[in-house]
Amino acid sequence: MKISVLGFFFVLFAPSLCRVPSETHLRTELEHASTPPRGWNSYDSFCWTVSEEEFLQNAEIVSNRLKPHGYEYVVVDYLWYRRKVPGAYTDSLGFDVIDKWGRPIPDPGRWPSSKGGKGFSEVAKKVHSMGLKFGIHVMRGISLQAFNANTPILDTAKGSAYVESGKQWRAKDIGLKERACAWMSHGFMSVNTKLEAGRAFLRSLYLQYAEWGVDFVKNDCVFGDDLDIDEITFVSEVLRKLDRPILYSLSPGTSVTPAMAKEVSGLVNMYRITGDDWDTWRDVLSHFDVSRDFSNAKMIGAKGLLGRSWPDLDMLPLGWLTDPGSNEGPHRTSNLNLDEQRTQMTLWAMAKSPLMFGGDVRKLDETTYNLITNPTLLEINSFSLNNMEFPYVSGRKFRRKRKVLPQDFAEGGMLGKRAFGLTTCKDPKANGWSTKALDQDLEQICWREKLEEPPCLYKRKPLLASGVEMIYKQQYEGTLHLLASDGMETCLDGSPRRRLTSKEFGGGSFSPCKRDANQMWELNANGSLVNSYSGLCATVGLLKDDAGSSEVRSWIATGRRGEIYLAFFNLNLEMTVISANLADVAKVLPWKNLKGVSCKYHEIWSGKSGVTKQLISIAVEKHGCSLFVLTCV
């Protein structure tokens, strides 16, 4: 057997070990997720609707064009077991394909190779033959459908029904109905891991995934607001014992704190630290504070399951996309402009987030391709160290401050200086809405009418396209669309996982009107305005900062060839001159002895180069960023 370099290092750094473990064990310990995982995920472009053909077409292109840049995982996101038939949607009940043990299996309509009990094994084989790794999304616990059918539980050791104390255990014995997933209440619930039968059920799921050849699981509705530490702990234990590593990822991460992450980081390889990220500026913005907090807490690349773990800022919704909660596949381009996309990629790179591309790569345009394969960003993402927010940065207005314009209003969910949020309908603070008639045909819904200029939205019956199934119509009878202004086709949107966090007042946002449950609202008698999709209620609050104030951010990191990376982010609504002093760079990287040195710099987006001994300064576009590579001697 060859003596591997890894073995050499291991011995070097662990001299107290008297026995060198086997090479395979060694490799797993040191290599699993040693850099932030990178790949493609079907959610942003297909929501839940992706088919085998679409998935494999994407995988083929990932293999040819993105694999050379380290994108190695291809992941099927949620509800691959749901039949795509009229009436089925993201929280429908009774449309799932389950086996006799209550386990979800791929919908044979969308995944024809799964027929005959093959599950995902044929797809995994094809993915592996492309040189890629195969991932799937899974929900917490057990489905309500399996619970209602009271399916027996498989004992994987015996290959027959699980029997304990003379009793055959079933779904209703282990399902915790009171712990249904908050954002998919008709979908899944936790199982009782205190019961051996509950653990047997989870084991039967994950051993099956391993048998299919799955390399990556994204476990959803177990973290953040939905924390189920028992399930995470047990699943991690099952995965640890497999003879082949499966990367373990947690989602979503609404209201996650570093303290909560510390409980799970050693059990997993990546975990989301925000709610879902979509292509709005508000979503990009919401990642700055939280990624700083996690770098300060030393969570980036901390010890994880059989290797390392990474705080995950979510997929990159760039290129050719669909909408959250939609039954439709990709049909529109990203709403972020190029400056905003660069800001997102640069923050994700500097914070060493996993990079999971979300757009349909069959329609990958050159600009997006160049951005997601930018060699400097990918080098930073994989190999930089000492990644942290750099606080000694200042911004100066390039031009005079201007007012918030209507186009800003449509983008971010703002109403003047106020912003929409989503909260539980039990919160009496949400009871502030009332109807106001403008004329015979036109009505508004306004927030707290006693305010001098109450924020108002325009009421309209939702668009129900012709040919929409009856079920859909009945379900949304009496609901409203709420438009930003009369004649402007942007509707208030309340997707379920973008709810208020303590950090930011966010949540609702505007997007082009469509027949989407996310955009349907109902006014209750008590003045609360409930969203049909999430069941959450709309509120209006003051923005923490008047959206025009000078907000600039910066991140710093060191490279493996001695270089320093310095990124400037302009969060303002106008062009801003951003500056930092070399003396302050020297202060945060004391071991590099930068006092009095001069640095060559190269800014990657503008191509500007030069030498400086003091100041680094550049004018940055609204919502844009600059990225300097510094070489100091």
Ligand X SMILES: *[C@@H]1O[C@H](CO)[C@@H](O)[C@H](O)[C@H]1NC(C)=O
Query: Whose Cβ is closer to ligand X: residue 427's or residue 546's?
Result: 427
Query: Whose Cβ is closer to ligand X: residue 403's or residue 426's?
Result: 426
439: enclosing H helix or E strand = none
Three-class DSSP category at 129: helix
| Alpha-carbon separation of residue 628 from 583, 602, 603, 617 (angstroms) | 16, 5, 4, 10
Query: Whose Cβ is closer to ligand X: residue 400's or residue 426's?
Result: 426
3-state SS, 564-607, equals: EEEEEEECCCCCEEEEEEHHHHHHHCHHHCCCCCCEEEEECCCC
Query: Whose Cβ is closer to ligand X: residue 435's or residue 524's?
Result: 524
CB of 530 to ligand X, least distance (A): 7
Residue pair 215/73 in contact (Cβ under 8 Å)? The answer is: yes
Token pair recorded at residue 337? 């402009």
CB of 537 to ligand X, least distance (A): 8
Smallest Cα–Cα separation from 468: which of 481, 458, 477?
A: 477
Query: Whose Cβ is closer to ligand X: residue 2's or residue 426's?
Result: 426
Token pair recorded at residue 162? 């699980």
Residue pair 134/62 in contact (Cβ under 8 Å)? The answer is: no
Query: Whose Cβ is closer to ligand X: residue 428's or residue 562's?
Result: 428
β-partners of residue 308 are 303
β-partners of residue 283 are none
CB of 446 to ligand X, least distance (A): 17
CB of 473 to ligand X, least distance (A): 22
CA 2 vs. chain centroid, Å, equals 41
CB of 524 to ligand X, least distance (A): 4
CB of 525 to ligand X, least distance (A): 7
Three-class DSSP category at 230: helix
Query: Whose Cβ is closer to ligand X: residue 526's or residue 598's?
Result: 526
Query: Whose Cβ is closer to ligand X: residue 300's or residue 523's?
Result: 523
Three-class DSSP category at 52: helix
β-partners of residue 415 are 418
CB of 538 to ligand X, least distance (A): 12
CB of 276 to ligand X, least distance (A): 24
Q: Which residues are within 8 A (CB) of 569 and not within 5 positions of it... i.e. 6 or more apart?
A: 288, 343, 346, 347, 552, 553, 554, 555, 620, 624, 625
Distance in Å from the first CA to the final CA of the chain: 44
CB of 428 to ligand X, least distance (A): 4
For residue 473, how many other CB atoms are within 10 A of its CB? 11
Query: Whose Cβ is closer to ligand X: residue 266's or residue 428's?
Result: 428
CB of 532 to ligand X, least distance (A): 13
Smallest Cα–Cα separation from 614: which of 598, 591, 590?
A: 598
The residue number whose beta carbon is nearest to ligand X equals 526
Strands, DSSP E only, in 347-494? 355-357, 385-389, 394-397, 414-415, 418-423, 433-437, 443-447, 456-460, 481-485, 488-493
Query: Whose Cβ is closer to ligand X: residue 449's or residue 469's?
Result: 449
Give the max Cα distance, the chain: 87
CB of 522 to ligand X, least distance (A): 9
Residues of the shown chain interacting with ligand X in the complex, contacts defined by CB under 6 A: 425-426, 428, 431, 524, 526, 528
CB of 144 to ligand X, least distance (A): 21
Query: Whose Cβ is closer to ligand X: residue 87's or residue 541's?
Result: 541
CA torsion, points 513, 514, 515, 521, in degrees to nearest 10? Answer: -20
CB of 432 to ligand X, least distance (A): 11
| Alpha-carbon separation of residue 521 from 316, 409, 483, 563 (angstroms) | 28, 20, 11, 52
Token pair recorded at residue 57? 């077409």
Tally DSSP H helices, then E strands, for the chain: 18, 38
For residue 617, how many other CB atoms are within 10 A of its CB? 15
Q: Which amino acid is at 543?
A: L
CB of 539 to ligand X, least distance (A): 11
CB of 210 to ligand X, least distance (A): 43
Token pair recorded at residue 422? 């989503």
Query: Whose Cβ is closer to ligand X: residue 376's or residue 431's?
Result: 431
Query: Whose Cβ is closer to ligand X: residue 428's or residue 478's?
Result: 428
Give start and end residues of each alpha helix (H) in 90-149. 121-129, 144-149
Token pair recorded at residue 173? 């014995």
Residue pair 594/602 in contact (Cβ under 8 Å)? The answer is: no
Query: Whose Cβ is closer to ligand X: residue 394's or residue 431's?
Result: 431
Query: Whose Cβ is closer to ligand X: residue 182's or residue 338's?
Result: 182
